[in-house]
A and B are shown apart, each in its own frame.
Chain A
């Protein structure tokens, strides 16, 4: 049983990654958005190093948050339109397993590139070395969380024609605690204070979301196909 769940998980993950590679725009778009926002910010508010350092955590995190939302509408949409979603639901394997695979694929194409490029972008905003580490760590813990929460919104709105705006409305309030703790962690790190408390809270959120999120998504998907 465990083996077969794993087989379906990896098959779904591979399929979604393959599809993402074939439609590169979907991968490049959120990353491009993220990079553009952070590059444009210093041009907009002026290049004073102290000012940039003060706004850096907020800018990086808001950009990350919005760029995760950018591609999430398509997470289940295509499968819903094709009817693949029906076949996923009918699989003898529990639906949360498949859902977790799709969320992982979404994170690999949205969260992971952001994490990889963020040290460079944070350096643009005059974040010091300990701040850079905090940026990467908070993103590493919290981008999967963003993907899971966004997936719940996507699953609830998959049956609607234009669900994009609704997803943002549903999901953004849930993201606000993440934003608060993540930016405060980076702030603390830049001033040399400990920030493991904030990281621990984010990790706790992540564990909670990993446990409950796939079930919430599965139920929403089942409602959406009926």
Chain B
């Protein structure tokens, strides 16, 4: 199943400052876009526009799935099924444990499949054991049921990134995914990114790391700080 995403002529104005205008890019299955630029250039704003939190001053977004192209307007519920957004904030509640956080997120995002494939529902929603297993592989052994407020910044980030392994979304938008992650974790993430791309997924991410060596089908969008 091939998917494609394109942005045309985007313009974003924040606090009377034009962050970018006339920005556009196209993305199809298996491609990764790295958004680069100095601090304050509008990288996060761009990602938030793509995810639908911000409305651009002008410009359009298009989403194509199985040959059907649609402009993304106000109703994004269909697109959201294929979207995974991990933003600046980790979306983790400090009073809940890692496992509770992950499972709540899954209930929010996998429920649609429950209704459409009633028979497969048990297969499609990972069990508690599987989530335990996954968190263990991410290096959180023994910390699965501790309140996340007691975890380190990097460990909290890993709980957030566990969604990458659980999501069925085709289109990932990741804002600084490597922040606070150790070297081993970063290489693990890059392997996961490659698997996602190989299976026909797409990624848009911001990072200050050099990814040119890691991915063949890497596109870069460069933003400059404008006064």
Q: Which residues of chain A have a CB within 8 Å of any CB of chain B?
A: 1-5, 7-8, 11-12, 15, 18-19, 22-23, 78-79, 81-84, 86-94, 98, 222, 225-226
The answer to whether B112 has its CB under 8 Å from any CB of chain A is: yes
User: Judging by beta carbons under 8 Å apart, are B95 and A23 in contact?
Assistant: yes
Partner of B54, one of A5, A8, A93, A226: A226
A3 contact set on B, CB distance < 8 A: 114-115
The answer to whether B87 has its CB under 8 Å from any CB of chain A is: yes
Minimum distance in angstroms from A93 CB to a CB of chain B: 6
User: Judging by beta carbons under 8 Å apart, are B107 and A7 in contact?
Assistant: yes
Q: How far is the CA of A15 from the CA of B95 in the complex (A)?
A: 11
Q: How far is the CA of A129 from the CA of B191 in the complex (A)?
A: 71
What sequence of 0s and 1s flags, for each residue 72-113 of chain B, a beta carbon within 8 Å of any chain A beta carbon? 000001101101010111111111100010001101110110
Assuming the contacts A8-B107, A84-B91, asked whether A92 and B85 have C-beta atoms less than 8 A apart, the reply is no
Minimum distance in angstroms from A80 CB to a CB of chain B: 9
> How many residues on B have C-beta within 8 angstroms of the other chain's C-beta atoms?
32
The answer to whether B227 has its CB under 8 Å from any CB of chain A is: no
A7 contact set on B, CB distance < 8 A: 107, 111, 114
What are 23 A-B interface contacts by the 8 Å CB criterion? A4-B115, A5-B111, A7-B107, A11-B111, A12-B108, A15-B104, A19-B95, A23-B95, A82-B91, A83-B88, A84-B91, A84-B92, A86-B53, A86-B89, A87-B85, A87-B108, A91-B80, A92-B78, A92-B112, A93-B108, A93-B112, A226-B53, A226-B55
The answer to whether B8 has its CB under 8 Å from any CB of chain A is: no
Q: How far is the CA of A102 from the CA of B92 in the complex (A)?
A: 17
A98 contact set on B, CB distance < 8 A: 108
The answer to whether B219 has its CB under 8 Å from any CB of chain A is: no
Partner of A92, one of B48, B55, B81, B89: B81
Q: How far is the CA of A179 from the CA of B11 in the complex (A)?
A: 48
Assuming the contacts A7-B114, A8-B107, A8-B111, asked whether A92 and B92 have C-beta atoms less than 8 A apart, the reply is no
Mostly helix, strand, loop or mixed at chain A's interface? helix
The answer to whether B4 has its CB under 8 Å from any CB of chain A is: no
Q: Which residues of chain B have a CB within 8 Å of any CB of chain A?
A: 48, 51-55, 77-78, 80-81, 83, 85, 87-96, 100, 104-105, 107-109, 111-112, 114-115
Looking across the interface, which residue of chain B has its beta carbon closest to that of A8?
B111
User: Judging by beta carbons under 8 Å apart, are A86 and B95 in contact?
Assistant: no
Assuming the contacts A3-B114, A83-B88, asked whether A11 and B95 have C-beta atoms less than 8 A apart, the reply is no
Minimum distance in angstroms from A83 CB to a CB of chain B: 3
A83 contact set on B, CB distance < 8 A: 87-92
Q: How far is the CA of A7 from the CA of B103 in the complex (A)?
A: 13
B87 contact set on A, CB distance < 8 A: 83, 86
A79 contact set on B, CB distance < 8 A: 93
Partner of B51, one of A18, A90, A91: A90
User: Judging by beta carbons under 8 Å apart, are A19 and B108 in contact?
Assistant: no
Looking across the interface, which residue of chain B has its beta carbon closest to that of A78?
B93
Assuming the contacts A83-B91, A226-B55, asked whether A88 and B108 have C-beta atoms less than 8 A apart, the reply is yes
Assuming the contacts A4-B115, A7-B114, A225-B53, asked whether A91 and B93 have C-beta atoms less than 8 A apart, the reply is no
Looking across the interface, which residue of chain A has its beta carbon closest to that of B104?
A15
Q: How far is the CA of A19 from the CA of B89 in the complex (A)?
A: 19
Q: How far is the CA of A8 from the CA of B77 in the complex (A)?
A: 15
